[in-house]
C-alpha cells in the first residue's frame, strides 16, 4: 500500500465507521510497512484532510457544481484527499490529480475516475487564497465565514468564544482556532518515582514529569521502558498531578479513578500513589477501554484493580470511602481537536445536554464517595462552558456547604516548572482552563473540590 492509500483507508473508516484516526492510522501504517518518509506523508494527508474537511467540502461543492451530499461517499473522500494535496501541500498538482484518479478508479470505475479528474483539475487552476475567498462569499454570517476559513463548525466557534470570554480573553479566538489546526508536538511522561526523563530530552514547559521525545516514532521508547515512559499530552499530565499534589499524600489513603479509560492519567495516579503509600482503584465501564487501562498500568509494580461498572453506580455504592477521586468525565472532546481533528465534524450541539447530565451524575456520585476532607478533581478535555463551569456550579449548588472549591490555578502553579497564564474567570471560580494557543496543551479543564 502507498501513503495515499493508507490515508484514504483511514479517512474512509472515520467516515463509515466513526473510527478514531489516532488509533487506526498507526496500525494501518505498520500493516502497510511504510518507510518513515511515507509514514509521515500518510499522517499529514490523513490529519490534514480530516482537519479541514468542512472547508474542502465547500470547495468541492463549488468545483463540482453540486452539493457534496450528492457525491458517493467513497469518491467524496478521494476528492477531499486530493483537494488537501492541491491546496495545502507541496505535492505537484499532476501527481495529486493522477494519484487521486487512480484511487477513484479502484473504488468506482471509469465514471468515478473521470469525475474526480474533472473536479480536481478545476481546483488546481486556482490558488488556495482564491478558493478560500470564493467559498467565504457563500457565507451567510460572520461566524459562518470564520467557520469556512478556520475549518471549525459554527457551534464550536461560538462555544470557544464564550469560554474565552468567561476569562475576559475573547480576543484570543483567532489564535485558538489557528492553534487547533496545527499538528501538536508529541509529548511524553516519565511516571514519577519509576522513571526519569531520558538524557538529552527536552523538558515540557510546565509538567515536572513531561518531556519531548525528539523525532521519530515514540513507541520504541515506550516499549523499552516497559511503559514507564509513555505518550501523554502535557495537559493530561497536569490534570492528574493537580489531584495528587493538591495536598500531601498520607500513607494508606484510598484513591479512585472513576472514568479511567484509556488509562494515561491512571498510570500517573498509580505511580504517585505508589510513591506516597496510597492505594489506587480504577473503574472504566467500557470493556475495551478497561483493557487499555490495564495495559497502561503494566509499568507500575502494584496491584491495581480495574472494575467495569457505570461510574455513577460504582461511586454510589462506596459512600465515604475515598480520600481522592478523579472524575475525568466523558465529554465532547473539543479540547483535543489538534490530535483528533475529525471530532469537530463528528460532534453536534445536541450531544452536549446528554453529556452534561452524565457529568453531573458522575461528579455528584463521586462527592458522596469521598471521606470528609477528601479531594475530588473534576476534569474534562473540553472548554465548553456547559461541560465545565455549568456542571461545577450545579454540583456546588446541590451540595451546599458540603463542598469547598480549591483554587486549582494555585495548585497547578505550585508544582509547574514555569508560570502558567491562568486568568481568574469572571465568575471568580477556582477552576483552571488550559488552552492550545496559550499553553500548547489540549484545552483541559480542571476543578478541585474538597468535601468538608
Q: Which residues are catalytic?
A: 381
Which residue has cell 492553534?
Answer: 179
Which residue has cell 477528601?
Answer: 374
- Concatenated DSSP letters of 424-436: PPTT----EE--H
Find, among 188, 183, 177, 121, the residue nearest to 149 by Cα. Answer: 177
Q: Within a 10 A sphere around the Cβ of 423, how many other Cβ atoms?
A: 14
Estimate to the nearest angstrom the gap between the alpha carbon of 168 and the chain centroid: 24
281 CB burial (10 A radius; 0-12, 13-18, 19+): buried
Question: What is the rounded distance in angstroms from the CA atom of residue 437 to the CA atom of residue 175?
Answer: 6
> Both ends of the chain: CA-CA distance in Å?
60
Please state whether beta strands 202-203 and 210-212 pair in parallel, antiparallel, or not at all (unpaired): antiparallel
Query: Coil, strand, or helix at residue 329?
Result: coil
Q: What residues contact 430, with CB distance under 8 A and at least 6 apart?
A: 405, 406, 407, 408, 409, 410, 447, 448
Distance of CA 288 to CAs 30, 71, 285, 291, Å? Answer: 21, 35, 9, 5
Question: What is the rounded distance in angstroms from the CA atom of residue 428 to the CA atom of residue 431?
Answer: 9
Cis peptide leading into residue 241 (ω within 30°): no
The phi and psi torsions of 189 (rounded to 5 degrees) equal: -120, 140
Provide the edge-to-edge strand list for the sheet that holds 210-212. 202-203, 210-212, 188-190, 229-231
> Between the CA atoms of 235, 262, 50 and 186, what dihedral angle is there, to the nearest 10 degrees?
40
Please state whether beta strands 188-190 and 210-212 pair in parallel, antiparallel, or not at all (unpaired): antiparallel
Contact 270, 240 (CB under 8 A): no
Which residue has cell 509529548?
Answer: 187
Amino acid at each position: 500500500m502507498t501513503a495515499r492509500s493508507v490515508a484514504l483507508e483511514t479517512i474512509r473508516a472515520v467516515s463509515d465507521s466513526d473510527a478514531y484516526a489516532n488509533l487506526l492510522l498507526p496500525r494501518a501504517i505498520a500493516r502497510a510497512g511504510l518507510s518513515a518518509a511515507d509514514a509521515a506523508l500518510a499522517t499529514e494527508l490523513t490529519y490534514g484532510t480530516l482537519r479541514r474537511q468542512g472547508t474542502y467540502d465547500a470547495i468541492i461543492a463549488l468545483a463540482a457544481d453540486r452539493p457534496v451530499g450528492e457525491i458517493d461517499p467513497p469518491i467524496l473522500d478521494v476528492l477531499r484527499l486530493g483537494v488537501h494535496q492541491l491546496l495545502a501541500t507541496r505535492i505537484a498538482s499532476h501527481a495529486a490529480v493522477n494519484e487521486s484518479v487512480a484511487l477513484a478508479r479502484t473504488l468506482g470505475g471509469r465514471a468515478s475516475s473521470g469525475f474526480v479528474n474533472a473536479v480536481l483539475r478545476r481546483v488546481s487552476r486556482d490558488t488556495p487564497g482564491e478558493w478560500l475567498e470564493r467559498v467565504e462569499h457563500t457565507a451567510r454570517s460572520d461566524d459562518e465565514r470564520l467557520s469556512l476559513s478556520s475549518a471549525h463548525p459554527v457551534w464550536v466557534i461560538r462555544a470557544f468564544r464564550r469560554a474565552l470570554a468567561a476569562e475576559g480573553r475573547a480576543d484570543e479566538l483567532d489564535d485558538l482556532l489557528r492553534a487547533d489546526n496545527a499538528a501538536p508536538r508529541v509529548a511524553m511522561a516519565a511516571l514519577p518515582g519509576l522513571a526519569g526523563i531520558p538524557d538529552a530530552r527536552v523538558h515540557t514547559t510546565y509538567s515536572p514529569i513531561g518531556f519531548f521525545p525528539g523525532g521519530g516514532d515514540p513507541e520504541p521508547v515506550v516499549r523499552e521502558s516497559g511503559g514507564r515512559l509513555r505518550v501523554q499530552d502535557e495537559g493530561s499530565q497536569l490534570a492528574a498531578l493537580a489531584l495528587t499534589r493538591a495536598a500531601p499524600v498520607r500513607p494508606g489513603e484510598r484513591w479512585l479513578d472513576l472514568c479511567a479509560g484509556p488509562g494515561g492519567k491512571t498510570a500517573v495516579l498509580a505511580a504517585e500513589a505508589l510513591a506516597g503509600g496510597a492505594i489506587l482503584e480504577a473503574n472504566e465501564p467500557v470493556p475495551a477501554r478497561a483493557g487499555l487501562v490495564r495495559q497502561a498500568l503494566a509499568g507500575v509494580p502494584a496491584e491495581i484493580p480495574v472494575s467495569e461498572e457505570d461510574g455513577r453506580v460504582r461511586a454510589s455504592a462506596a459512600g465515604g470511602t475515598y480520600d481522592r477521586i478523579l472524575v475525568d468525565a466523558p465529554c465532547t472532546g473539543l479540547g483535543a481537536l489538534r490530535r483528533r481533528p475529525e471530532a469537530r465534524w463528528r460532534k453536534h450541539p445536541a450531544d452536549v445536554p446528554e453529556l452534561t447530565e452524565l457529568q453531573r451524575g458522575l461528579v455528584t456520585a463521586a462527592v458522596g464517595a469521598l471521606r470528609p476532607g477528601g479531594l475530588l478533581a473534576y476534569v474534562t478535555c473540553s472548554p465548553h462552558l456547559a461541560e465545565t463551569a455549568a456542571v461545577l456550579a450545579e454540583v456546588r449548588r446541590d451540595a451546599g456547604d458540603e463542598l469547598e472549591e480549591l483554587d486549582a490555578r494555585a495548585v497547578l502553579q505550585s508544582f509547574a516548572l514555569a508560570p502558567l497564564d491562568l486568568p481568574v474567570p469572571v465568575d471568580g471560580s477556582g477552576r483552571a482552563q488550559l488552552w492550545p494557543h496559550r499553553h500548547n496543551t489540549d484545552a483541559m479543564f480542571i476543578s478541585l473540590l474538597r468535601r468538608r
